[in-house]
Amino acid sequence: MAEPLPITAVNHVGRTSRHVEESRRFYREVLGFREVARPNFNFAGAWLYNYGIMIHIIESKAAPGVEGEIETRGDHLALHTNDLSQAEKLLAEHNIPFRKNTVADTGLQQIFFHDPDGHTIEIGTYPPTPAYL
Which positions are annotated as active-site residues?
Answer: 122
3-state secondary structure of 2: coil
Alpha carbon distance 26, 30 (integer Å): 5
Question: Residue 122: beta bridge partners?
Answer: 78, 112
Contact 115, 64 (CB under 8 A): no
Using DSSP, state whether 45 is helix, strand or coil.
strand
Q: Which residues touch 90 (CB under 8 Å, ≥6 apart)?
A: 30
Strand pairing report for 53-59 and 12-17: parallel
Beta-strand pair 76-80/53-59:
unpaired
